[in-house]
């Protein structure tokens, strides 16, 4: 996954883009890249590491006063696939492109390379706008939230493009005024810029299937493909920032709703004996940080306070992408410490967004027990995951997969049997996920939990 940004502004484009780019860092921490363009040049800088490590505003070459377009990304893709933005050079154009999404491709190729392969062929007979349009037409099973800076070497000017596939699987937010345009994977970083004094006339999601571009001739927007939305449900459950709003639905509110749904689905008020008010021997705590919003919802639903029981060492970074299970366990152990004063001698209901393989949940629960928790229930906002995302080539051992076809209660019990430190695992149902997000069912992709493939039957 990637966080992408694009800015067209006649002043301070470098600084304003870097500020935007910081705000999408949660979508990828493997590498960072920026391309800057003006009338006569387009240059790119990228390296492995966090945005704050790769770029420094004070010494920024992309802060050149002649530039008026910057595109950037914080990438979670393996750097062996190449850094992004990727450059395509043709006789007339120099193009820097980065995208959050997935394209069918040859092994070892990046998604950007796969997009360029199609675009390059289309550019042979025509100019950039029709070529992009035709590329979108000819990629029916791809999804992309993309930004591109395009230097037209013949006319000596640059254009900023943003495009979103017709399903809108990944988010893309746009903010604009007459002579400036900001695009970002999510709304939160644009809020931050508004807080710093940036003013926009219009802010919204990029319509799925549309192409937006801005140059000295102004802003244009066209609906290249009919929208047939299939927004990834996991954006609201885990990927997105809680302070983002996607398709008009607050990520934090969706997560809190998921907490309320868990309480209702599993009759937790009765189960935990809190119908008449809180109990001193029950602790409701999050796995930080991904379990925070759902914990608030669970506590609200139960009518009991939430507490902090686990503290995360924020400097270790993400551990999810580590493939060696022993090393992942060590990484999770190193990352989380338990507050004995919260959990000692208590029944603990600990909440997180998802169980994928079960490594994090078991390692956290084991440490809760060591700190004196008498029972550990693991409450999960998402539903059991049976199918690896069609865009994820890694074959992860999914903890719930062997139990496909059973009820969420049964699956919870069976998953818990394989996680010795956990008494009960409580999942949400796919129906609750869709209801908690609040969008029509047919507009949400739930492939990993239902097997319903948004790329089948909609073309
Ligand atoms: P597991 O059950 O595989 O040990 O880990 C699950 C945890 O990893 C979840 O709590 C969630 O916070 C995080 N997670 C789930 N899916 C993803 C993903 O696609 N990418 C990243 N970076 N983290 C994820
Ligand atoms: Mg987590």
294 within ligand 1 shell (Cβ under 6 A): no
Q: Whose CA is nearest to atom 21 of ligand 1?
A: 320
Outline which parts of the chain fall under CATH 3.40.50.2020.
251-440
- For a mutational test of ligand 1's pocket, the pick from 288, 320, 360, i.e. the residue with the most ligand atoms closer than 8 A to its C-beta, is 320
Extract the residue ranges of the chain whose pLDDT is less than 50: 458-459
355 within ligand 1 shell (Cβ under 6 A): yes
**Among candidates 346, 356, 312, which has minimal Cα distance to 332?**
312
Q: Give the Å distance between the CA of 123 and the centre of ligand 2.
A: 43
Sign of CA dihedral 103, 107, 112, 116: negative
Contacts of 81 (CB under 8 A, 6+ apart): 108, 109, 110
Ligand nearest to the CA of 448: 1
Query: In whole angstroms, what is the distance from residue 22 CA to residue 55 CA?
Result: 10
342 within ligand 1 shell (Cβ under 6 A): no
Q: Which segments of 285-405 does DSSP mark as H helices, in order? A: 292-302, 325-335, 340-343, 359-370
| CA dist 36 → 32, 39, 151, 183 (Å) | 14, 11, 10, 15
Give the model's pLDDT for residue 321: 65
Give the model's pLDDT for residue 314: 85
454 within ligand 1 shell (Cβ under 6 A): no
> Cβ distance 34 to 98 under 8 Å?
no
Q: Give the Å distance between the CA of 3 and the centre of ligand 2.
A: 18
Q: Give the Å distance between the CA of 354 and the centre of ligand 1.
A: 7
**Among candidates 231, 225, 223, which has minimal Cα distance to 168?**
231
Give the model's pLDDT for residue 459: 41
CATH H superfamily, domain 2-228: Aminohydrolase, N-terminal nucleophile (Ntn) domain (3.60.20.10)
Using the CB atoms, write b or e for 195-227: b if 16+ within 10 Å: eeebeeeeeebbbbbbbbbbbeeebeeeebbeb
The pTM is what?
A: 0.96
Give the model's pLDDT for residue 458: 46
Query: In whole angstroms, what is the distance from residue 251 CA to residue 39 CA?
Result: 39
353 within ligand 1 shell (Cβ under 6 A): yes
Q: Give the Å distance between the CA of 178 and the centre of ligand 1.
A: 41
Outline which parts of the chain fall under CATH 3.60.20.10.
2-228
Span 251-440: which CATH code?
A: 3.40.50.2020
- For a mutational test of ligand 1's pocket, the pick from 360, 362, 394, i.e. the residue with the most ligand atoms closer than 8 A to its C-beta, is 360
Contacts of 216 (CB under 8 A, 6+ apart): 157
Ligand nearest to the CA of 381: 1
R_g of the chain, CA atoms, integer Å: 23
Give the model's pLDDT for residue 393: 66
Query: In whole angstroms, what is the distance from residue 435 CA to residue 222 CA?
Result: 31
């Amino acid at each position: 996954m990637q966080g992408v940004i694009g800015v067209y502004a006649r002043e301070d484009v470098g600084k304003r883009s870097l500020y935007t780019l910081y705000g999408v860092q949660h979508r990828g921490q493997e590498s960072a890249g920026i391309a800057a363009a003006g009338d006569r040049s387009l240059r790119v800088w990228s390296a492995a590491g966090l945005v704050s490590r790769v770029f420094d505003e004070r010494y920024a070459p992309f802060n050149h006063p002649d530039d008026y377009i910057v595109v950037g990304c914080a990438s979670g893709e393996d750097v062996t696939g190449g850094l992004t933005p990727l450059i395509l050079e043709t006789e007339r154009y120099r193009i820097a492109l980065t995208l959050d999404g997935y394209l069918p491709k040859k092994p070892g190729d990046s998604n950007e390379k796969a997009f360029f392969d199609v675009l390059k062929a289309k550019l042979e007979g025509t100019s950039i706008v029709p070529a992009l349009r035709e590329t979108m037409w000819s990629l029916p099973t791809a999804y992309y939230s993309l930004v591109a800076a395009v230097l037209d070497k013949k006319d000596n000017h640059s254009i900023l493009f943003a495009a979103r596939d017709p399903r809108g699987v990944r988010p893309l937010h746009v903010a604009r005024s007459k002579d400036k345009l900001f695009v970002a994977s999510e709304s939160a970083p644009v809020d931050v810029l508004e807080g710093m004094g940036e003013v926009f006339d219009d802010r919204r999601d990029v319509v799925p299937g549309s192409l937006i571009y801005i140059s000295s001739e102004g802003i244009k927007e066209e609906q290249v493909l009919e929208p047939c939305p299939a927004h990834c449900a996991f954006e609201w459950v885990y990927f997105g920032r809680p302070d983002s709003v996607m398709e008009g639905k607050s990520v934090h509110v969706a997560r809190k709703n998921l907490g309320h749904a868990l309480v209702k689905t599993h009759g937790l008020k009765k189960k935990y004996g809190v119908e008449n008010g809180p109990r001193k021997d029950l602790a409701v705590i999050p796995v930080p940080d991904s379990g925070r919003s759902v914990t608030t919802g669970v506590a609200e639903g139960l009518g009991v306070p939430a507490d902090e029981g686990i503290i995360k060492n924020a400097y270790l970074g993400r551990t999810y992408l580590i493939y060696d299970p022993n090393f992942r366990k060590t990484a999770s152990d190193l990352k989380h410490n338990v507050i004995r004063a919260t959990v000692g001698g208590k029944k603990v209901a600990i909440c997180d967004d998802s169980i994928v393989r079960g490594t994090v949940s078991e390692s956290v629960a084991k440490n809760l027990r060591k700190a004196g928790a008498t029972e550990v229930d693991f409450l999960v906002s998402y539903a059991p995951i049976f199918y690896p995302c069609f865009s994820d080539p890694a074959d992860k051992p999914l903890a719930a997969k062997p139990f496909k076809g059973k009820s969420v209660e049964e699956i919870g019990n069976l998953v818990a049997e394989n996680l010795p430190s956990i008494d009960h695992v409580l999942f949400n149902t796919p129906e609750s996920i869709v209801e908690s997000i609040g969008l029509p069912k047919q507009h949400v992709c739930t492939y990993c939990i239902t097997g319903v493939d948004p790329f089948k039957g909609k073309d």
